[in-house]
Structure 1
Amino acid sequence: MSDIRVRRGPLRRTALAAGALLLAAGAALASDSHPARASAPAPEPGWTTVFLDDFDGPAGTGVDTADWQYTTGTSYPGGPARFGTGEIETMTSSTANVSLDGAGHLRITPQRDGAGNWTSGRVETRRSDFQPPAGGTLRVEARIQMPDVTGPAAKGYWPAFWMLGAPYRGNWWNWPGIGELDILENVQGINQVWATMHCGTSPGGPCNETSGIGGSRVCAPVSCQAGFHTYAVEWDRGTSPQEMRFLLDGAVFHTVRETQVPASTWAEATGHGYFLILNVAMGGGFPDAFGGGPDAGTVPGHPMVVDYVTVLQRGGTTTPPPTTPTTPPPGGTRDAYAAVQAETYDGQSGLATEATGDTGGGRNIAAVANGDWALYRGVDFGGTPATQFLGRVASGAAGGVSGLVEVRIDSRTSAPVGSFSVAGTGGWQSWRTVPANISAVTGVHDVYLTFASGQPADFVNLNWFTFGH
């Protein structure tokens, strides 16, 4: 492998020498190159499904915007031009670029107009909290057929299935420190998949940026372009050292271990959740390393076809308090020292509830803004004073938007006994537990949670809260 470094910003790519194109060409991999399935396979024993999209829906419709969001234009707002990679297309939400085909597939299709301008598609999961449980493993997998175009007609094509660290959202300039996991990348219609972890600093740094720590494998016996294959990463927190394992058709072909980089670099890249991305770029740094493009000979209209995307987890432990709903015991009291599920309020103003992506499932309260409140009757603090309050919160609020979660006893207008502030956590399902000190409380009380902000915008979701000594 030569050390061809590609100049680019957030995103990717291991630039390999042409000789590496033959790496593992003779390897006999078990191919998954059958026609696309109607649905994803059932999880193997020990694995549970965290997220799944089979892309079922009428032909000519877009993605389910409850799960996915479109990224459009030529950059993130305020972020690096051309997504930091030099790609030349404009991303759109048009069904000419992103659509279901009615047979259980998502198609992301680059198009070129009469003036030579390219458009394509890029979709990202709304959730940005995908990470393994403590001591467990997360598996992110998709079954994909790369654009079925090769040779000069494929010049400039750059399909990808990848993940970015949640702190990138709303910042756009903290790459590569926040981490990037490229599960599938391909250029120029070459029969090869590249997988890369990006981290550290750029250029250079402990992760060899902008190339990253990468590996590659040929698709066999059917090429990446001619058939479907499964592409996956397993983020394993249950082994020592921790690992990122990249797989093609179930076989590991590239591994990055935490001992390969400084501990602080690994912690910065893995101490948070990630969101998933599917896109087909045209041109940019990675294609430039293999001949450039696109040009007049490039043929538009060849889609990356996605059969399913699934996220699974295995093993690990969850940290208390538990996320199962608490049931008030006889007499209507709640245990202050068990998790009180936020959606089990006895009264509220301004709140909504939604299914939560937090560990344990259930629901959370959402759309929380200035002046909203929730009432929880009969909370029993016992005879030993409670001096701490903990809330499980998430926020996708824009920069500059923040607020307070306040605890009041017996009256919504009484002075707060404690509070903590919340700003953006990286997404409305990017959860963290925030502690606060409170004035000592004993006995049985009605607890009001009130929410205060200097802006009218929603600023927090709340899954559960509890108290401590």
Structure 2
Amino acid sequence: MNAPSGIPRPRPPRRRPLRRALVAVVATLGLSAALATAATAPANASAPAPPSGWSQVFLDDFNGAAGSGVNTSDWQYDTGTSYPGGAANWGTGEVESMTSSTNNVALDGNGDLLITPRRDASGNWTSGRIETTRTDFQPPTGGKLRVEARIQMPNVTGDAAAGYWPAFWMLGAPFRGNYQNWPGVGELDIMENVNGLNKTWATMHCGTSPGGPCNETTGLGNSTACPNTTCQSGFHTYTTEWDRSVSPEAIRFYVDGVNYQTVTANQVDATTWANATNHGFFVILNVAMGGGFPGAFGGGPTGATDPGHPMVVDYVQVLQSGGSGGGTPPPGNRDAYSPIQAESYDGQSGIGTETTTDTGGGQDIGYIANGDWASYKGVNFGSTAATQFYARVASGAASGVSGLVQVRLDSPTSPPIGSFSVANTGGWQSWQTIPANIGPATGTHDVYLTFASGQPADFVNVNWFDFGH
């Protein structure tokens, strides 16, 4: 969610500089027609079938009993007024407290999700904010990613809508567990609306704040009216496509198939773009109340604001298309005995990525501290048991700071099959290959690298790992 010009988004000092920049999106043949059809479908319509050449990598149709919560295998609740250790009021000045209560976040029994702001007798606001458990949404090398949702904004306008701020958006995976590296890790606002205006905003955030190459805190954005019916009175389909099949890469934003904002890689410097895009993203749905963005359009909430109007979400769908190889292998296609690039994770918590100076170049994962983890799906050990683990690591940790690199199979909480300790190696880009014995592993497993330390400080970077007999 973007903060408007002139209203800074608080960001504490970063642990170490992150390097990557925000996301790209290009239209595909038939997109306009498909999304226009979806926009006029019934309120509880299912997500449209993927077009030819596309595969579905995530879907929630929000089917379930009326009054039940979301599927916590797919979604996690953000609660309170900030991330742990993050900027107050979610960094945007909003006034509500987010909850996991079905009073604020619930299914309606007809295939829709309702996120409903409430105000109590004392004037305190509550609302809901959920984000996908997955953080790996990104296109394959040379391919495309499409993220879309069919949404009716809160059906309230005028003075009664003052302060309403519904949004459907994405944040770069390195933000999770760090909460201090915005906007460098990238943000894509697929749909935002404030104060009941008949407009949808689409924005990319990246670079540094305030100012910087992405004009923060405003970002690189545009707005348009919703087609045919207003944003508040009807359902509309909001979409972003991130296209790596073109040069320069492009991120395009749509409402009902109408492209109204495009950001391309050549609009910013290469480092800014890389910092914001060379990693996965997670998806967020929320309704905020008040804050900087509504403040730029009249403010609120006020005594006239009418609580209880939900954002209604019919479905959220993520599709993938094409690719020329070089991305994350599909499950079952990772060879345990060839180097697995650490940055090719399928999921992570608390980890960032950065350019490495190690032999072979590319990237490593870093900013790793106690409790962080990364997962790698479908690692094939074969029928002869692996008994060795090798990892290429570097550390610039302070004296006395060290930790364990642990290997687990199929769950981040299963017992480690092996581990090794690492402390300062001479610098964050001073690399060593460290071996460890592991319990015998055969067959195909999801591999989790987990990290444990007695101190809260970062203690290791990892470039690649593999296994041996």
Same fold by TM-score greater than 0.5? yes
Helix, strand or coil: the match of 1:287?
Answer: helix
> Are the counterparts in 2 of residues 55 and 100 from structure 1 also a CA contact under 8 Å?
yes
Q: 1:126 aligns with which of 123, 128, 133?
A: 133
Separation (CA, whole Å) in 2 of partners of 1:320 and 1:311: 17
Which residue in 2 is equivalent to 1:94?
101
Cα pair distance change 1:71/1:402, threshold 3 Å: farther
Residue 248 of structure 1: aligned partner: 255
Deviations along 1:335-354, whole A, 9 cap, x unmatched?
94598xxxxxxxxxxxxxxx
**Residues 362 and 105 from structure 1, CA distance in 2 versus in 1: closer, same or farther, beyond 3 angstroms?**
farther
In structure 2, C-alpha distance between the alignment counterparts of 1:401 and 1:295, rounded to whole Å: 51
CA contact (8 A) 2:141 2:324 kept: yes
| Whole-Å separation in 1 of the counterparts to 2:44 and 2:53 | 23
Q: Which residue of the partner structure matches residue 220 of structure 2? A: 213
Q: How does 1:186-201 map to 2 (within 5 A)?
A: 186-201=193-208
Q: Structure 1 pair 117/41, CA: closer, same or farther in 2 (3 Å)?
A: same
**1:271 Cα deviation after fit:** 1.4
Give the match for residue 152 of structure 1: 159
Secondary structure of the structure 2 residue equivalent to 1:134: coil
Equivalent residue number for residue 82 of structure 1: 89
Instruction: Kindly indicate whether residue 311 of structure 2 is the aligned counterpart of residue 311 of structure 1.
Output: no
1:30, distance to aligned residue in structure 2 (A) = 4.5
Q: 1:9–1:85: 8 Å Cα contact kept in structure 2? A: yes
Query: Judging changes above 3 Å, is the alpha-carbon distance between structure 1 residues 357 and 467 closer, same or farther for their aligned structure 2 residues?
Result: closer
Contact 1:110 1:302 in 2 (8 A): yes
Residue 325 of structure 1 deviates from its aligned partner by: 3.6
Shift of the 203–60 alpha-carbon distance from structure 1 to 2, 3 Å rule, reads: same
CA shift, 1:38, in A, is 3.6
Matched letter for residue 101 of structure 2:
S
Match of 1:44 in 2: 51
- Tell me, in whole angstroms, the C-alpha distance in 1 between the residues paired with 2:48 and 2:338: 41
CA contact (8 A) 1:10 1:175 kept: no
Percent of paired sites with the same residue? 58
RMSD: 4.0
1:83-137 superposed Cα distances (whole Å, 9 cap, x missing partner): 1111001111111100000000000000111111111000011111111111111
Judge conservation of contact 1:128–1:274 (CA < 8 Å) in 2.
yes
CA distance in 1: counterparts of 2:312 and 2:270, whole angstroms: 38
Displacement, 1:214? 0.2
Residues in 2 aligned to 1:50 and 1:78: alpha-carbon distance in whole angstroms: 32
Q: For residues 199-226 of structure 1, what are the alpha-carbon distances to aligned partners after superposition, in whole Å with 9 as ceiling and x for unaligned?
A: 1111111101110000111112111111
CA distance in 2, matches of 1:85, 1:451: 32
- Residue 338 to residue 82, structure 1, CA distance change in 2 (3 Å): closer
- Give secondary structure in 2 for the equivalent of 1:201: coil
Q: CA separation in 2, counterparts of 1:451 and 1:203?
A: 35
Distance apart, 1:156 and its partner CA? 0.6
Map residues 364-383 of structure 1 onto 2, 5 A cutoff. Answer: 377-378=384-385
Give the 3-state SS of the residue equivalent to 2:293 in structure 1.
helix
Which of 263, 267, 277 is the aligned partner of 1:260?
267
Distance 2:48 2:375 in 1: 22
Distance 1:420 1:134, change over 3 A: farther
- CA-to-aligned-CA distance 1:247-276 (integer Å, 9 cap, x gap): 111221100011001111001111111111
Identify if the C-alpha distance between structure 1 residues 467 and 320 changes in structure 2 by more than 3 Å, giving closer, same or farther: farther
Kept in 1, the 8 Å contact 2:336–2:467? The answer is: no
SS for the counterpart of 1:55 is coil
TM-score, normalised to structure 1's length? 0.70
Flag the 1:322–1:206 CA change in 2: closer, same or farther, 3 A.
Answer: closer
Task: Report SS of the residue matched to 1:174.
Answer: coil
Runs of 5+ consecutive residues of structure 2 not aligned to the other structure: 12-34, 341-373, 393-400, 409-417, 424-430
Q: Quickly say closer, same or farther: Cα 1:183–1:323, change in 2 above 3 A.
A: closer
Q: Secondary structure at the match of 1:107?
A: strand
Q: Distance in 2 between matches of 1:202 and 1:60?
A: 40
Q: Which residue of 2 aligns with 1:5?
A: 5
Contact kept? 2:161, 2:195, Cα under 8 Å:
yes
Deviations 1:150-186 (A, max 9, x none): 1111111000000111111122121111111000000
Larger C-alpha radius of gyration, 1 or 2?
1
How far does residue 319 in structure 1 lie from its aligned partner after superposition? Answer: 3.0
Indicate if the aligned counterparts of 1:8 and 1:210 stay in contact, CA closer than 8 A: yes
Query: Secondary structure of the residue that 2:202 maps to in structure 1?
Result: strand
Q: What is aligned with 1:229?
A: 236
Aligned mates of 1:251, 1:220 — CA distance in 2? 9
Assess if the C-alpha contact under 8 Å between 1:85 and 1:285 holds in 2.
Answer: yes
AA at the equivalent of 1:404:
V
2:31 — aligned with what?
none
**Number of equivalences:** 375
Confirm whether residue 437 of structure 1 aligns to residue 437 of structure 2. Answer: no
In the TM superposition, what is the alpha-carbon distance from 1:39 to its structure 2 partner? 1.6
Q: Which moved more, 1:169-178 or 1:288-297?
A: 169-178
Matches of 1:166 and 1:36, distance apart in 2: 31
Q: Which runs of 5+ in 1 are unaligned?
A: 12-28, 328-333, 340-355, 365-373, 382-387, 392-399, 408-415, 423-434, 440-444
- Picking from 181, 184, 188, the partner of 2:191 is 184
CA change 1:54–1:262 in 2 (3 A) is: same
- 8 Å Cα contact 2:142-2:325 kept in structure 1: no
SS in 2 for 1:302: coil
Query: Which AA in structure 1 matches 2:142?
Result: G
1:317-332 mapped onto 2 (5 Å cutoff): 317-319=324-326, 322-323=329-330, 325=332
Aligned-partner residue type, residue 437 of structure 1: T
C-alpha distance in 2, partners of 1:176/1:437?
33
Code of the aligned partner of 1:251: V
Which residue is 1:167 aligned to? Answer: 174
Aligned ranges 1:279-358 → 2 under 5 Å: 279-319=286-326, 322-323=329-330, 325=332, 336-337=337-338
> 1:55–1:419: structure 2 CA closer, same or farther, 3 Å change rule?
same
Deviation at 1:77, TM superposition (A): 1.3
Q: Secondary structure at the match of 2:272?
A: helix
